[in-house]
Chain A
Amino acid sequence: MDGLLSVCHGYEAKQRIVRNLIDKVMDEINEGTLLKKNLIWLELTGCSGNIISLLNGANPDFKYLMTKMANLVYSNSLMTAEGEDAVSHLVNVMNTDFILAVEGAVATKNNGLYNVIGKWRGEPLTALKAVKMLGEKAQHVMAIGACATHGGVSAAHPNPAKCVSVQSVLKRKVIKLPGCPCHPDWFMGTLAEILLYDAPKLDAKDRPVLFYSTLIHDRCPRRSFFDKGIFAKKLGDHTCMFKLGCRGPVTRTDCPVRQWNKYVNWPVEDDTPCIGCAQFGFPDLMEPFISYDTTRKERE
């Protein structure tokens, strides 16, 4: 497998594409033809998994991205400012050119009071109000991860906070980067595309085609087992996990070639079925994540 991948130009290009884009951004910033932009990273109802994933970025790493490419104005997980001082950064950026990245779903119950992200002039600032206020002014809005793109885990049944996607509360184009979490390369590459070309090419569901164009199933290293009808009967078997409920055939990302944790591995290679975390409707529509006692008949 490794030998095959090492001679595949498409695979090699995939590894370098984000780095190439970001190098181009850097060249243009150094030449003065491109200006750094302000970036707001807004965390709403979620688990902070996307900012943690971003911090794990490797090519380039987070520090490089945020110091050389963009001015990170606000991230409640990373900034040192607290209280109204922190919120003032959000307010002050409103009159500048900025890109808004949102992770987490928007809690709408009780007019958004189920998620208060700070205080401004003594009043609670709800996530709902913040995302509307910033979303209307931003040059680009990026929804990062499952919860922001379609509600995700935060909107799973019974959805006590009545969480919805970022798109549901904004009447404008929202670039969607689904995944639980979003891969750091998907975010960094899309940000670089925005800086360079203003509008990245998106598919019908507003996902960048650079990262979301191909089914996991079509690039799965275990695809030949599926084609021959050789299926895993339990976790740990090294064959196709279709009969256990793998959602690779309905999920579009480049996990099989990009891989995770600094390009080390991905679920299927570690004998875990894809749970469709980058598919709209995850998790409810992708369940059950694992099934035994299903059809065992081999392909005729």
Chain B
Amino acid sequence: MPTQKEMICMRMNQIVRELNDNTNCMYWVQSHYSRYVLLNQIKSKIEELHFINNLICIENEQMLRDRLQELPNQREFTLAELAEYDGKNSRPAYVSVEQIVYDVTNNATWAAATHFGLSAGKDLTNEFNACHEGQAILNKLKVVGKLV
């Protein structure tokens, strides 16, 4: 009986083989519509890889949070201090989720330090959990401190 890690490994190898097959098909398929069907299949397999990767990353993200608790020299922000990092007038843009403060200054989805009606310089734990719970996306952001 294979372990969970071995099963994940086998599935990932299988997806890579399927991606290779689909990519090879793209070279000889003439019909544009068939090409789009193949592209969609490739896209859905990439999404599956992303899903598996997220599963692994969620574990890592928990490790990141655990590690942060252990870091004694991490900069501490009060809510008032965090509010100064609103991304206006050349200031960086920071937001906090679950007590961790992240830098979103150059994150593509935070154009002009705003994101779907939200602005930087705030604790957005509830908003994050309402839209992105279970998504391992915070580990892409630079951690700049913790909220106290």
Contacts and interface: CB of A to CB of B under 8 A. Distances in A.
B116 A285 contact: yes
B contacts with A: majority SS: mixed
A161 to B, nearest CB: 21
A229 B106 CA distance: 8
A249 B109 contact: yes
A275 B110 CA distance: 13
Nearest to B142: A300
A209 B40 contact: yes
Given A295-B87, A297-B90, A288 B114 contact: yes
Q: How large is the interface on A (under 10, 10 to 19, 20 to 34, 35 or more residues)?
A: 35 or more
A226 interface: yes
A151 interface: no
A296 interface: yes
Interface string A247-272: 10110000000000000000000000
A262 to B, nearest CB: 20
A63 interface: no
Interface in A32-65: none
A286 B92 CA distance: 21
Given A293-B89, A297-B105, 8 more contacts: A209-B43, A229-B106, A243-B112, A247-B111, A249-B111, A281-B116, A294-B87, A294-B89
A295 B117 contact: no
Nearest to A298: B106
A138 interface: no
Interface of B: 32-33, 35-36, 40, 43, 87-93, 105-106, 108-109, 111-117
Contacts of A293: 88-89
Contact of B111 (A21, A243, A281, A297): A243
A210 B36 contact: yes
Nearest to B120: A295
Given A13-B35, A17-B33, A285 B117 contact: yes
A296 B117 contact: no
Contacts of B40: 201, 209, 213
Given A17-B33, A229-B106, A295-B91, A288 B112 contact: yes
Contacts of B33: 17, 20-21, 24
A21 B36 CA distance: 12
A217 B112 contact: no
A226 B106 CA distance: 9
B88 to A, nearest CB: 6
Contacts of A281: 116-117
Given A13-B32, A21-B33, A213 B117 contact: no
A285 B114 CA distance: 9
Contacts of A226: 108
Contact of A242 (B32, B35, B108, B117): B108
A295 B111 contact: no
B88 A250 contact: no
A299 B106 contact: yes
A210 B32 CA distance: 11
Nearest to B118: A285
Nearest to A246: B111
A293 B91 CA distance: 9
17 contacts: A13-B35, A17-B32, A17-B33, A229-B106, A242-B108, A244-B112, A245-B111, A291-B113, A293-B88, A294-B87, A294-B88, A295-B87, A295-B90, A295-B91, A296-B90, A297-B92, A297-B105
